[in-house]
Amino acid sequence: MRRLATSDRDFAAAFAALLGEARASAETLRAPVAEIIAAVRARGDDALGEFTARFDGFTPGAPPLRVSDAEISAARESLAPELTAALDLAANRIAAFHQKQIPADIIETEASGLRLGLRWTPLDAVGIYVPGGKASYPSSVLMNAIPARIAGVTRIAMCVPAPGGALSPLVLAAAARAGVTEIWRIGGAQAIAALAYGTARIAPVDRIVGPGNAYVAEAKRQVQGDVGIDSIAGPSEVVVVADAANDPRHVAIDLLAQAEHDEAAQAILITDDAGFAERVIAAVAAELPTLPRAAIAGASWRDHGAVIVVADWAEVAALVDRLAPEHLELMLAEPAALFARIRHAGAAFLGRFCPEALGDYIAGPNHVLPTSRSARFASGLSVYDFLKRTTWIAADDATPLADLGPAAIALAEAEGLGAHARSLALRLPRANSD
């Protein structure tokens, strides 16, 4: 991991190198992913079967690509009561938070009688991709599907990799709880292609959401435009801002909680105390061997982790904004003042007792968040991702045109669009009286 200090003479260059670090490259994947997409478009279900046999190690049919209602019911019944209760609590809290996001339509009537409005309507069908390679993520199912259901989407198709054909019962139970209407044992770029373009068995969707590996991210990049997507997710990341009043072990485990996602994940500590920074580094080394995913977390911390020691807390907001992290923890006694000065973060966790994992599972706000510094211009998944806006204008008679028409005609003529101008002029009250 890197050690940086704002007091170092070469800090600007070192920090720029950290920002410019390539943790995931799609360049080498562009051609193979394009071939997979082309094969699915050309040969549909046959291509899906071949890719599933090659990448997931089973031949569709035994088990089938589509998960049956009986299998879903069996999965739900197999869960321990405490897991079912936890799933219900998470689902209820996620639903409650996202329910508050539903926007209101706009209707305005002007003095002339012209009416203006904006109408929100749900998408017809969405596809959600749920990772299933290195771990299973029932929480991702809830976070992707529940906002779609609340928005009013009637068809929610889920694709999830199934190594050897097996799926986590908890993932299936989460899908049923979240309102998923169909589940497919398909992963990788081939799943994105099937959702985007459809096959004989799988109808295409209007938008694809959910994180995945580099192949999934590149596939979403290539189908974007033919179908909507939420974002092109990169490796996960966290910036932890912590002072020396914290327990170093708490900070260390929060850094590792992000690092254990993937070898390319990034965990960064910002603090004003060099001694505390070293204590956290030592705590990371002590915690690592105890983790089930120690090899993954260790590679992430070694290759992409960083500790930044600032000379003054006033420097922190600008550094965070340049990093624009997916997750931001402000482990301070009074984090609100610093948070008010920070503009760019996918999600923020305020206080010493608010670890990012709380947001991953149970708090309510969505955990599908912008990565790779895209929090500068993007936001986390929400109900808005499953809605579209339609504006409308209504005029029951020529009165509004008498007021607005001449200005519109002048602009149309200035643009050289005669038919535009005439379509307005013919409806003006004076034209009708001639």
- Take residue 307 and report the two structure tokens written for it: 């500790």
| Residues constituting the chain | 434
Rounded-to-integer distance, Cα 277 and Cα 366, Å: 30
Torsion of Cα atoms, 161 then 145 then 350 then 102, to 10°: 160
Rounded-to-integer distance, Cα 144 and Cα 94, Å: 10
Residues 6+ apart with CB under 8 A from 366: 94, 98, 143, 147, 380, 381, 382
Residues 6+ apart with CB under 8 A from 203: 125, 155, 157
- Take residue 201 and report the two structure tokens written for it: 């068995």
Q: Which of 326, 329, 344, 367 is catalytic?
A: 326
Q: How far is CA 425 from the centre of its chain?
A: 48
Residue that is written with structure tokens 């930044």 in the block? 308
Rounded-to-integer distance, Cα 293 and Cα 296, Å: 6
Q: Is 326 a catalytic residue?
A: yes
Rounded-to-integer distance, Cα 392 and Cα 13, Å: 51
Identify whether the C-beta of residue 361 lies closer than 8 Å to the C-beta of residue 94: no
Residues 6+ apart with CB under 8 A from 236: 258, 261, 262, 265, 266, 326, 327, 371
Q: What is the DSSP string of 59-72?
A: -TTSS-SBPPHHHH
Rounded-to-integer distance, Cα 81 and Cα 90, Å: 14
Rounded-to-integer distance, Cα 329 and Cα 331, Å: 6
Residue that is written with structure tokens 């801002």 in the block? 241
Q: Which of 98, 261, 304, 327 is catalytic?
A: 327
Q: Is 260 a catalytic residue?
A: no
Residues marked as catalytic: 326-327
